[in-house]
Amino acid sequence: MGKTIRSLIPLVVAGFLLMGVGTFSPRALVFAQSSANDNSLRAEVMNKALSNSKYKNVEVSVHNGIVKLTGTVAVYDIKNQAMRRVQRIKGVTAVENDIVAGGEAIPDAELQQKVLKAVQSDRVGWPTAPFNAISVRVQDGVVTLGGHAYGPVDADTAVATASNIKGVRDVINDIQLDPVSPMDDRIRRAVYRAVYGFPSLNKYAIDPVQPIRISVQNGNVTLYGVVDSQADKNAAGIRANSVSGVFHVTNDLQVRGQVPEQK
């Protein structure tokens, strides 16, 4: 298609001359060439990068090699996929991604619970799952992920999970990665055994989501999650403090039904 458009440029020039235009402006020739290139590039973006049916509602415009994407997609992850695919097309100088993701709007409170449940259930059964304490905030459909993750794989998985939930317009990754060291890894495992192995807390080990989450940064332990009673919260903090090598324990466990303390 690009060759066909370029082959028409001499005919356009001839047309100007036949219409009585004595000279053909070089600026007009450059404009015609640029327009032809943009049309060719748009066709390539549509036919190669965005040919899949999941991009069927995406609109494409091109100006001087800059591709602008508009329209809608089902989930935020598809919006990102579209941008990455277009960026790989030769000749694309920049991409403006104005695609709207998420489908029908979902109330923020409902969406927050939906995303939080999905993120907490993420990587269930993996040995690092209890060491991820990822928080979720939602405002106008924009999800902000915070808290702590054991490593980049766990954080990236949480982002991918949130990005594939309908109703999510955008995802901001503010997750902090806990340092990974032999000392901290030993403390993580020891605190896990001390907490979940305690008789009154063993019931939480049955839950595959592992509701008591353990974050360790250079020997400092923070407990996150929700427990059934103040006694369980106190017991978890005492057990974590009993582990050799722990410098300090911050007990941020919440008691079910109680209003979280303001800090």
- pLDDT tens for 184-220 read 999 999 999 999 999 999 999 988 888 999 999 999 9
Token readout for 155 is: 């954080």
Write down the pLDDT at residue 5.
45
pTM of the predicted model as reported, rounded to 2 decimal places: 0.80
Q: Are 173 and 161 in contact (CB under 8 A)?
A: no
Q: How far apart are CA 78 and CA 54, in angstroms?
A: 8
Write down the pLDDT at residue 132.
95
The single-letter code of the amino acid at 177 is L
Write down the pLDDT at residue 126.
86
Q: Are 117 and 209 in contact (CB under 8 A)?
A: no
The single-letter code of the amino acid at 12 is V
Q: How far apart are CA 27 and CA 51, in angstroms?
A: 34
Q: How far apart are CA 253 and CA 263, in angstroms?
A: 13
Write down the pLDDT at residue 11.
47
Query: Going by DSSP bridges, is the β-strand pair 170-173/133-139 parallel, antiparallel, or unpaired?
Result: unpaired
Query: Going by DSSP bridges, is the β-strand pair 220-227/212-217 parallel, antiparallel, or unpaired?
Result: antiparallel
Q: Are 147 and 133 in contact (CB under 8 A)?
A: yes
For 108-177, which CATH class?
alpha beta
Write down the pLDDT at residue 31.
52
Q: How far apart are CA 234 and CA 16, in angstroms?
A: 86
Q: How far apart are CA 49 and CA 44, in angstroms?
A: 7
Q: Are 111 and 138 in contact (CB under 8 A)?
A: yes
**Which sign, positive or negative, has the C-alpha torsion 36, 38, 43, 48?**
positive
Q: How far apart are CA 44 and CA 67, in angstroms?
A: 11
CATH no., domain 182-255: 3.30.1340
Write down the pLDDT at residue 124.
78
- In the three-class reduction of DSSP (H, G, I as helix; E, B as strand; rest coil), residue 172 is classed as strand
Segments of the chain assigned to CATH 3.30.1340.30:
2-101, 108-177
pLDDT-flagged residues of the chain (< 70): 1-34, 259-263
- In the three-class reduction of DSSP (H, G, I as helix; E, B as strand; rest coil), residue 65 is classed as coil
Q: How far apart are CA 89 and CA 99, in angstroms?
A: 18
Write down the pLDDT at residue 22.
47
Q: Bin 63: left if φ > 0, else alpha if -120 < ψ < 50, else beta.
A: beta
Q: Among all chains, which residue has been given the structure tokens 């990068």? A: 49
Write down the pLDDT at residue 13.
45
| Architecture field, domain 2-101 | 2-Layer Sandwich (3.30)
The pLDDT tens digits of the residues spanning 94-117 come to 999 999 998 888 999 999 999 999
Q: How far apart are CA 40 and CA 88, in angstroms?
A: 15
